[in-house]
Amino acid sequence: MRISAFLGLIALVIQEMEAMPPWMDGGGKQEQPQDEGTAYNNLELGSYDPNLDNYDLSNYEEKVVKSDYGVLTPKTKVGTLAPPTTRASTKTVMATTAPRTQTAITTPSISGLLNSLTAQGLPTCLVCVCLGTSVYCDDADLQRIPPLPQETTYLYARFNHISQIQTEDFKGLRKLKRIDLSGNSISTIEDNAFLLPALQELIIPENKLVSLPRLPGSLVRLDAQLNNLQSPGILPESFRELKNLQFLYLSDNKLDYIPVPLPSSLRSLHLQNNHIQMIPEDIFCDAQDHTHIRRALEDIRLDGNPINLSLFPNAYFCLPRLPIGSYT
């Protein structure tokens, strides 16, 4: 036992001597570093004894601190810098406003618009629709023509219950160009009711007229279809002086003959569905002048009448087109 203990002590001393650094060597000489290959060749693995007793763990103590929550965390320094604060500079802008100017406000004149009362006691332009110089009284349950503004140019009073027209209805309306009274129950018109200086269109179909009143020389279009007009109800030479008349519509009435004479300005003549049985030879053409051509009159309707147009060939020789109707 003593020998074994002695040998172990000697081995321990030898190991300590081999582990001594070069500067502790007695010769005082510093060894030159060996290259990697030489170091591996001189390494004696046989004397290597991996034992925990050979390690000194006192040099491997990690410096840690304990956080508030009991967790070990590395000690770090945290620096916090407050963000720089900049003061927003506020600029005061002085708004300059132009001085207000007083503008004169002109109000439209209501003369003739709200001052004219209808039979219901209401202003005309509340019962009817007034747009500019046009007055629309369609389907307004009117019994008579309402008072109209003096500037009225176009009047539409269709599909009402108007039964008569008086001279006072249009008195003073010197700018009135168009009157449309379609679809009423008009049976009586005073003789001078339509003698207006600017009247160009008189539209009175679908009424109960048996005669026509006097007509103004400015008239361009007369539409009296679908009435009860009879030949005695049209005054002799009613259309002679109508130098501007271009459209004459008298279809669906009870006429026995074509009203004569017709103005040379006429372009369209509708007489279909009447009781016409004959045509005078000089009604359209001049029987004495066979060179005369009536170029304007291009549209003549005589269909629906009890007449054979082929029996009156001399009545059409001056026309650019033959009348429409029966030739048998």
* pLDDT attached to residue 289: 85
Of 2-6, 26-30, 60-64, 133-137, highest mean pLDDT = 133-137
Token digits for 44? 């004696």
More confident residue, 185 or 56: 185
Token digits for 7? 């040998």
90-114: average pLDDT: 46
Q: Predicted confidence band at 38 (pLDDT cuts at 50, 70, 90)?
A: very low
Question: What mean pLDDT value characterizes the chain?
Answer: 79
Q: Judge whether residue 272 has pLDDT over 90.
A: yes
Q: Predicted confidence band at 253 (pLDDT cuts at 50, 70, 90)?
A: very high
Q: What is the 3-state secondary structure (H, E, C) of the chain?
A: CHHHHHHHHHHHHHHHHHCCCHHHCCCCCCCCCCCHHHHHHHCCHHHCCCCHHHCCHHHHCCCCEECCCCCEECCCCCCCCCCCCCCCCCCCCCCCCCCCCCCCCCCCCCCCCCCCECCCCCEHHHHCEEECCEEECCCCCCCCCCCCCCCCCEEECCCCCCCEECHHHHCCCCCCCEEECCCCCCCEECCCCCCCCCCCEEECCCCCCCCCCCCCCCCCEEECCCCCCEHHHCCCCCCCCCCCCCEEECCCCECCCCCCCCCCCCCEEECCCCCCCCCCCCCCCCCCCCCCCCCCCCEEECCCCCCCHHHCHHHCCCCCCCCECCCC
Beta bridge partners of 134: 131, 154
Q: Predicted confidence band at 14 (pLDDT cuts at 50, 70, 90)?
A: confident
CA distance 154 to 33: 126
264-275: average pLDDT: 97
Find out whether 178 and 153 touch, Cβ atoms under 8 Å.
Answer: yes
What's the predicted TM-score (pTM) here? 0.65
* pLDDT attached to residue 256: 97
49-56: average pLDDT: 50
Q: Predicted confidence band at 107 (pLDDT cuts at 50, 70, 90)?
A: very low
* pLDDT attached to residue 135: 98
Q: Judge whether residue 126 has pLDDT over 80.
A: yes
CA distance 251 to 273: 6
* pLDDT attached to residue 297: 96
Domain boundaries, given as residue ranges, for the chain: 162-328
More confident residue, 54 or 248: 248
**Exposed, middle or buried: residue 101 (CB in 10 Å: 0-12, 13-18, 19+)?**
exposed
Specify whether domain 162-328 bears CATH 3.80.10.10.
yes
237-249: average pLDDT: 95
More confident residue, 10 or 244: 244
